[in-house]
Amino acid sequence: MEKFLLKNIDNPNSKDVNEYIKTEGYKAISKALELKPSDIIDEVRRSGLRGRGGAGFPTGMKWSFAAADPKKPKFILCNADEGEPGTFKDRPILEKNPHLLIEGMIISGYALQAEYGYIYLRGEYPRAKDILKDAIKQAHDKGYLGDNILGKGIRFHLHVHQGAGAYICGEETALIESLEGKRGQPRIKPPFPVNEGFLSKPTVVNNVETLANIPYIMEIGAEAYSKIGSPDCPGPKLYSVSGHVKNPGVYELPMGTTLRDIIYAHCGGIRDNKKLKAVIPGGISTPILSPDKIDCPMDFVNMPKHGSMLGSGAVMVFDETVDLAKVCLRAMKFFEHESCGKCTPCREGVGWMRAILERICNGSGNEKDIELLTEVSKNIIGKTFCPLGDGAASVVQSFIKDFRQEFEQHISKEAGKEIKAAA
Amino acid sequence: MITVTINGKKITLEKPVTILKAAEIAGIKIPTLCHHDMLEPYGGCRLCLVEIEKMPRLQTACTQYVTDGMVVWTETEKVVEARKGVLEFLLINHPLDCPYCDKAGECDLQDLVVKYGPATGRFAEGKRTHPESYDDPIIVRNMERCILCARCVRMCDKVQGASAISITNRSSKSFVEPFSGGRYNCEYCGNCLTVCPVGAIMSRLHKHAYRPWLIEKEVDTVCSFCGVGCSLTLQVRGNSIVRAVPKIIGSLGKGLNKGLLCNRGRFGYDYVGSTNRLDSPLIRKDGKLERATWSEAFSYIANRLKKIKETYGSNSIAGIASGRCTNEDNYVFQKFMRVVLGTNNIDSVAGFAYAPAQKFFESIFGQGVTANPMHGIANSDGIFVIGGDPTSVNPVLGLQVRAAHQKGVPVITSGYMQGLKMFSSKSLIPNPFTETTLLASLLTGLMKERPFCGLNSAFEKIIRDIQPVEIKEAEEICGITSKDISYAIDTLSVMTNPSIIIGRDILQRAEGHTNLLLLAALIYLLNGRIYLLSELPNEQGLVDMGCLPDTLPGGRPVTVDIFRKRYEEFFGVEIPSRSGLSLMEMIDAAHANKIKAMYVMGEDVVSNVPNTKHIKDALSKLDILVVQDIFMTETANLADVVLPSLAWAEKKGSYTNLERRMQMLGKAVDGKGMDDWQAIAEVSRMLGFDMDYKDSGDIISEIAKVSPLHKDISYEDMADGECMWPYKGEPLRHGMSIEGIEISKFEIRKSKIGNRVYIGIDNPLFHAESLSRNSAALHSIAPETYVRISKVLARELSIANGDYVTIATNSGSIELSAQIDSDLPENIVLIPNNFDGKGVFTVMNWKMNTVIKSPAMDFTEAVIKKVAHVSKEATIMN
Amino acid sequence: MLSEKAVVEINQIKGRYHDAQSSLLPTLYVVQREHGWLSPDAVEAVGDLLNVPKAAVKGVSTFYSMFRHKPMGRHLIQLCTNVACMIMGAERLVDILKSRYGLKPNSTTEDGRFSLVIMECIGACGTAPAMLVDTDFHDNLTEQGIVDILENYK
Ligand SMILES: Cc1cc2nc3c(=O)[nH]c(=O)nc-3n(C[C@H](O)[C@H](O)[C@H](O)COP(=O)(O)O)c2cc1C
Ligand code: SF4
Ligand code: FES
């Protein structure tokens, strides 16, 4: 299918505003500004677009909540924290197609009657920061941003705000806290950001990819858009594929493309023709899948039916050589490091799981450890303040469920040694 | 109407509350750790998880609001399992040192583990280690015990507004610490100690000094330090106070302070047990004060007073009362002076500012105009503060201002106020002593914005006659930009029920009376509520009990016959109809040998009145000086007879706070001295006038009979802490009269103050008048006196922080270490008055403000020199 | 404490937000760029400049792993070892840095040339293993490649 989100990224100057305009860029704005804000929201609702940040929340609905709140000013925040390990799908938009995002934000701003937008960009993308700043300046000079957009008296100001290395700040309320210059710990919900977000004002937080879809919807219309990919969560989707495939990278495919197609048809299969051992389909906080599950369509609706989640669409492919216990341990180290520390189960429990896994991996674990690990994960799941802790625990559970032997190996290996020593 | 079912129990509620609250109402306890009723919901510890029907996940009761028809279960197997899990997680890093930990016995975590069963200790790896910190004189920090509920941090940020501590780092590596990482350098309110559920932050003063279960009794009382009158509980063991804690029931703070305290209230009580306490009467025999028996002392005093009265007449005797003594003490004192000795020469330091200000406002707005509940401040739609920093003079009242600001209420402050720096929408810092001009310009501006309401046409006429001051002029004189002044005017002009908070500094001025008029005008225009800052716990009571030269108990002017008669009939004695001398007039009269005897109850006049040398000379001229006190004060040092009295925690009685709320003291320990009222009663008996009170209760019932304001009052009325003005009494409704205001006397001085340097009083948060001199705890926080010097001046004289400087004035000279301050105007230096022999009054001079008969303390010029050698001991040379 | 230039930049940053504290993270970046790390004095200065309590500034700055609270070497190597990079051999790269430069995670070389910080995913999983040196991205790293690259940083 023709690319939209990754349109002309092969063009080395794609980030330049004129290049963007050459390929129909900023057309959608003029189109949108003809419509009433409420019509745009309605269009987005009918398009069936669902948030690409991971939760898959219907974007049109989120917008209508914020639009309905009388408080002013309103804010639109772009979530460019892209912290989910395995995910690098937003990066090409940010670095190669920044004007697509900016255009999407301007339209969103107008639709929401929000005069201020911030792009919360992860600190780990220093290059994207400079690119976005330049792009914003260009857009300004062209009259797409500012106090009188395209002479229509519409106001929208956009700034880049750089995070500083905290995965939790991808969570929308933590993101808002962080933007307010506080420790990035999640807030109690309700109230939801759409009513009390940034500086307690109505705030919409959307993922980069979500916002990048807006111009497309404006361009081809809700009808056409809703026919792309899975019926109940349509649209183009960016899948970032990493690990042992021949051609890793970011792929723009219709939502609902199966894992198998992604891995074999698009990424050329497993490299060195090794065997596929496992796949993490949606970023490290989504449950790991065994090869027998890869025929499931990668979308918000079908993945849960197969025991995992679409998450950020970050497909991590492991061939037969990979030691999954070590992968699990590394994942836990990540969650322990990134826990914001607010709630007990995540702060204390995740570290505990890491410790047990460490034990197992360095060969000093025993049979009971796998049960203990399961116990601890049970005490975390469903009891944490935000999904981070839950994610960590469900990951461990999924590893144990489908790949128990990977852990047992380390344990019995050790046992075996002991016997030799005894002899 | 919302109906919820908790554990099968149906309850209906007007408005939605959290499940936790609902359960509490239903009498069901849900365990919590990070929740505290004084703080916003947090939802961090996850202990309050409950099961809600039709909800797959467990929910936290502290954050989840009830909805109609909700069915909640708080102790199902699933819930109990979850809590066990959470507790096990908490114990991963929590040391099991309960036998050693002071918190054991009042530790929430310990109690919960007992309830839900000890963790099976399946965690094999080592615990987080973090050495206990003893870097602070007051607070011990043990981060191994911390469970990161963030209660202390939230208290410090959101309630106290000190923001001195924060969580450092992230994840399981996080811990709480002050900025320095060691010493707290904070406001030492200790409110963090109140909310810490475990032994992570504790008072060092009590380290291993006691165990909760060894407390023998707990006595509820009110604080003895300032006019707010916070409720607190004294924990007693043996005959000594082991700890003072706010009165908290459940996790709800009681009393007007709602569970908050300041550093003085929480830590300063130790003066009661000080080894410097007087324990025996002393009589001066050939120049030296020597121990004597009570009866010796009483008869000595009686005989001398008798003679003086006979030879020089009643008005050669004067008495000074104290805002640290109870209503009962002060009532008996003024009765003694008026009825037994026959003079109205009664006053106290309350006469410097508090009393005249109140009198002035009452004469315009009616009696009781300052009797406003403190919590009105946070609920008003605007705040104007002038003449003193509430956060240091009356700290817990100051928190109201901070709370208001955090709610977005506009706060305008006039004058240098460290404690409100981060809590004011506009901070106006005029050049020294130019507030009059500033106030006048604000008034001029407001008159253009706000019409008169017509309620008091007489006063409106007076206001019209006040000469206007244009903003430009004020900018010139006060050194504040027109922009800022206009901003203040605009902000003030839209307020409909602002709180006007007034400190003494604005009154102790040559133009104190003009400032009063301007403030009254402002208050009238804005329909403001008045709050008078009060440094003494019973300053108001002292006034209400008639310890003023011109006022009888219940605020009745002594000069008005019908009022006076009532008392004369009651006592069967004539009371002089002319007003007596004010404190400063007494001093001058003593100098002029017109006052021969002075009876001082609980006031260190020498330390607390400007120009130490002058007052010492005056007192030395007396034929007899009698001093009742709990310490050997500088005044007692000059006395002929010294009577040891009981300290606040050793006596029964009542205080009246700055809201005019009457509250009861609780007797916690026995003291060696005698109740002030009792000593006086003894003397008066020897003078042939029987005062046979068995206890303070008898006195209150007499007050209830004779003082119309206190009609029928009794301790029962005060028991619930809600005994508010006008009680059951008859206040004097003579307001709306403007007698005593001769507009001609009020003129607005607009001269610039030039480039001389003057002296001002600093009100440090950590001390209270001279009382805190005997609190080891407060001295460990702030051991040394100092002089605050502006950055500019410091640069001019090349003075660095901590350098020693001499400050010389026409009344003395003193050597102090400099504290450089960027917000202070350049031509004033501030010196506190809370350190022995080094107080500001040793160098400050005064002039009599003849309109309000109080000392004007402005315009004491000072010469400031850097001391070459750095001496540790500050010295005075008079 | 802060240079004129920094103060000017910080005041510009303030202009982008509705309240001062929102400009805290960008401000800390400016200060870190200038001093290489956030000393207690710097943290205090930022607090004064933004009228945010200094303890709060400390709490915030220590929450984020990209703010440094001790001096760093001339060049900061931020090497990702998260899963995607790990399975593509990132751990061996860590060993190389150790053997070649004596550089351990969270430490600085004797000569103050490099500091090494282990990163969680830096969004280069498709071209793993990857690292940031100062603000430059380097990916598809190999055992020889990483040394060649680092040799360009003196
Ligand atoms: C721990 C955690 C991390 C998250 N990280 C990101 C992220 O890096 N980028 C993102 O867009 N959304 C992230 N999210 C989802 C956001 O909370 C939010 O749902 C999303 O930004 C909404 O945008 P959308 O509706 O366009 O998906 C994260 C959520 C959680 C719980
Ligand atoms: S689960 Fe708890 S500790 Fe973990 S990130 Fe979320 S709020 Fe923070
Ligand atoms: S009390 Fe509810 S989570 Fe701590």
Structure tokens at B30: 């849900």
CB A296 within 8 A of CB A259: yes
Q: From the alpha carbon of B31, which atom of ligand 3 is closest?
A: 1
A386: Cβ below 6 Å to ligand 1? yes
CB contacts, 8 Å: A124 with chain C:
66, 78, 119, 122-123, 132
Cα dihedral sign for B241, B246, B251, B255? positive
How far lies A12's CA from each of A8, A16, A341, B139, in Å? 9, 9, 43, 61
Structure tokens at A230: 């899975």
Q: Which residue has the tokens 């109990």?
A: B80
B371 Cβ contact list (under 8 Å, min separation 6): B659, B660, B724, B725, B726
pLDDT on residue B739:
58
CB contacts, 8 Å: C76 with chain A:
none
A168: Cβ below 6 Å to ligand 1? yes
- Identify the residue among A347, A353, A359, A380 best suited for mutation to test binding to B, counting B beta carbons within 10 A and taking the highest: A347
A388: Cβ below 6 Å to ligand 1? yes
Q: Is C39 exposed, middle or buried (0-12, 13-18, 19+ CB in 10 A)?
A: middle
Strand order across the A236-243 sheet: A249-254, A236-243, A314-319, A276-280
CB contact B57 to A (< 8 Å): yes
CA angle B349/B351/B353 to nearest 5° reads 95
CB contacts, 8 Å: B58 with chain A:
382-383
Structure tokens at C102: 């004596």
A contact residues 139-178, partner B, Cβ 8 Å cutoff? 166
Ligand closest to the CA atom of residue A105: 1
C contact residues 25-44, partner B, Cβ 8 Å cutoff? 40, 44
C contact residues 57-76, partner B, Cβ 8 Å cutoff? 58-60, 62-65
How far lies B695's CA from each of B91, B279, B663, B698, C96, in Å? 54, 21, 17, 6, 87
A206: Cβ below 6 Å to ligand 1? yes
B716 Cβ contact list (under 8 Å, min separation 6): none
Q: Is A419 exposed, middle or buried (0-12, 13-18, 19+ CB in 10 A)?
A: exposed
C-alpha B853 chain-centroid distance? 25
| Mean pLDDT of all residues belonging to chain A | 96
| B176 min Cα distance to partner chain C (Å) | 9
* Chain B CA closest to residue C54: B179
> CA A190 to CA B419: how far, in whole Å?
34
> CA B475 to CA B440: how far, in whole Å?
12
Q: What is the DSSP letter of B155?
A: I
Ligand closest to the CA atom of residue B39: 3
- Asked if omega into A73 is within 30° of 0 (cis), the reply is yes
pLDDT on residue A421:
46
Q: Is A418 helix (H, G, I), strand (E, B) or coil?
A: helix
Q: From the alpha carbon of A386, which atom of ligand 2 is closest?
A: 6
How would residue B876 be classed by pLDDT, with cut points 50, 70 and 90? very low
pLDDT in tens, C72-121: 999 999 999 999 999 999 999 999 999 999 999 999 999 999 999 999 99
pLDDT in tens, B845-855: 999 998 888 89
| C141 min Cα distance to partner chain B (Å) | 30
Q: How remote is the CA of residue A79 from the centroid of ligand 1, in Å?
A: 7
Pairing of strands B624-629, B252-253: unpaired
Q: Which of B57, B148, B167 minimises the CB distance to A382?
A: B57
pLDDT on residue B873:
47
Q: Which of A127, A161, A164 minimises the CB distance to C137?
A: A127
Residue B540 has pLDDT above 60, yes or no: yes
Element (H, E) at A325: helix A324-338
Q: Do B164 and C55 touch (CB under 8 A)?
A: yes
> CA A351 to CA B127: how far, in whole Å?
11
Q: How remote is the CA of residue A60 from the centroid of ligand 1, in Å?
A: 16
Q: How many CA atoms lie within 13 A of A304 on its CB side?
A: 5
Residue A98 has pLDDT above 70, yes or no: yes
Range from B99-103, B159-163, B857-861 that averages highest in pLDDT: B159-163
* Best of A59, A84, A214 for a ligand 1 pocket test (most atoms within 8 Å of beta carbon): A84
> CA B38 to CA B191: how far, in whole Å?
10
Cα dihedral sign for B72, B73, B79, B80? positive
Query: Which amino acid makes up residue B312?
Result: Y
pLDDT in tens, B608-648: 999 999 999 999 999 999 999 999 999 999 999 999 999 99
pLDDT on residue B417:
95
Which stretches of B350-428 are DSSP H helices?
Answer: 354-365, 376-379, 390-393, 395-406
Q: How remote is the CA of residue A168 from the centroid of ligand 1, in Å?
A: 9
Q: How many CB atoms lie within 10 A of CB B324?
A: 30
Angle of helix A98-112 versus helix A37-47 axis, rounded to 10 = 120
Query: Which amino acid makes up residue B413?
Result: T
Element (H, E) at A116: strand A116-121
CB contacts, 8 Å: C83 with chain A:
85-86, 280, 284, 316, 327, 330-331, 334
Structure tokens at A404: 């128990």
Q: What is the DSSP letter of B861?
A: B
pLDDT on residue B877:
40
pLDDT on residue B874:
44
Q: What is the DSSP letter of A132?
A: H
Ligand closest to the CA atom of residue A336: 2
* Chain A CA closest to residue C22: A180
CA angle B772/B774/B778 to nearest 5° reads 50
CB contacts, 8 Å: A371 with chain B:
none
> CA B242 to CA B211: how far, in whole Å?
10
Cα dihedral sign for A61, A65, A68, A71? negative
| B65 min Cα distance to partner chain C (Å) | 30
Ligand closest to the CA atom of residue A384: 2
How would residue B120 be classed by pLDDT, with cut points 50, 70 and 90? low
> CA C113 to CA B409: how far, in whole Å?
53
pLDDT in tens, B191-207: 999 999 999 999 998 88
pLDDT on residue A346:
98
How would residue A417 be classed by pLDDT, with cut points 50, 70 and 90? low
Pocket of ligand 3 (CB under 6 A): B 32-35, 43-48, 60, 62
Residue B563 has pLDDT above 70, yes or no: yes
A285: Cβ below 6 Å to ligand 2? no
Residue B219 has pLDDT above 50, yes or no: yes
Q: Do A123 and C125 touch (CB under 8 A)?
A: no
> CA C114 to CA B753: how far, in whole Å?
60
> Which of B500, B499, B389 lies closest to B823 in space, CA to CA?
B389
Q: Which of C44, C51, C64 minimises the CB distance to B422?
A: C51
> CA B536 to CA B658: how far, in whole Å?
9
Cα dihedral sign for A173, A175, A176, A180? positive
Count CB pairs under 8 A between chains A and C: 131
How would residue A251 be classed by pLDDT, with cut points 50, 70 and 90? very high
> Which backbone phi and psi does A75 adopt, to 5 degrees?
-130, 145
Q: What is the DSSP letter of B66?
A: P
* Chain B CA closest to residue A371: B122
Cα dihedral sign for B796, B800, B801, B804? negative
- For chain A, the maximum distance between any two Cα atoms, rounded to a whole number of angstroms, is 88
How would residue A420 be classed by pLDDT, with cut points 50, 70 and 90? very low
pLDDT in tens, B145-166: 999 999 999 999 999 999 999 9
More confident residue, C34 or B208: C34
CA angle A115/A120/A121 to nearest 5° reads 140
Element (H, E) at A259: helix A259-260
Q: Which of A341, A372, A379 minimises the CB distance to B172?
A: A341
> CA B125 to CA B127: how far, in whole Å?
7
Complex-level ipTM: 0.95
pLDDT on residue B4:
97
Q: Do A85 and C128 touch (CB under 8 A)?
A: no
CB contact B16 to A (< 8 Å): no
Sheet strands (E) in B419-491? 426-428
Q: Do A162 and C60 touch (CB under 8 A)?
A: no
Q: What is the DSSP secondary-structure string of B408-431?
A: T--EEEES--GGGGGG-SEEE-PS
CB contacts, 8 Å: B178 with chain C:
55
**Contact partners of C by the rule of 3+ C-beta pairs under 8 A?**
A, B
How would residue B209 be classed by pLDDT, with cut points 50, 70 and 90? confident
Pairing of strands C75-80, C114-119: parallel
CB B842 within 8 A of CB B787: no
CB contacts, 8 Å: A183 with chain B:
167, 170
Q: What is the DSSP letter of B145?
A: T
Q: Do A86 and C25 touch (CB under 8 A)?
A: no
CB contact A36 to B (< 8 Å): no
pLDDT on residue A422:
44
A contact residues 78-137, partner B, Cβ 8 Å cutoff? none
Q: How remote is the CA of residue A387 from the centroid of ligand 1, in Å?
A: 10
> CA B566 to CA B551: how far, in whole Å?
13
> CA B291 to CA C105: how far, in whole Å?
74
Q: Do A181 and C52 touch (CB under 8 A)?
A: yes
Ligand closest to the CA atom of residue B49: 3
b/e B367-397 (16+ beta carbons within 10 angstroms → b): bbbbbbbbeebbebebbbbbbbbbbbbbbbb
Q: Which residue has the tokens 């109740």?
A: B675
C62 Cβ contact list (under 8 Å, min separation 6): B168, B169, B170, C69
Q: Do A126 and C127 touch (CB under 8 A)?
A: no
A341: Cβ below 6 Å to ligand 2? yes
CB A312 within 8 A of CB A87: yes
Please report, rounded to a whole number, the percentage of residues in chain B having pLDDT higher than 90.
86
pLDDT in tens, A60-94: 999 999 999 999 999 999 999 999 999 999 999 99
pLDDT on residue B734:
61
Least confident of B414-423, B729-738, C28-37, C82-91: B729-738
CA angle B296/B298/B301 to nearest 5° reads 105
| B535 min Cα distance to partner chain C (Å) | 28
pLDDT in tens, A111-125: 999 999 999 999 999
How would residue B248 be classed by pLDDT, with cut points 50, 70 and 90? confident
* Chain C CA closest to residue B164: C55
> Which of B734, B742, B737 lies closest to B459 in space, CA to CA?
B737
How would residue A413 be classed by pLDDT, with cut points 50, 70 and 90? low
Structure tokens at B638: 């000059």
Residue A416 has pLDDT above 70, yes or no: no
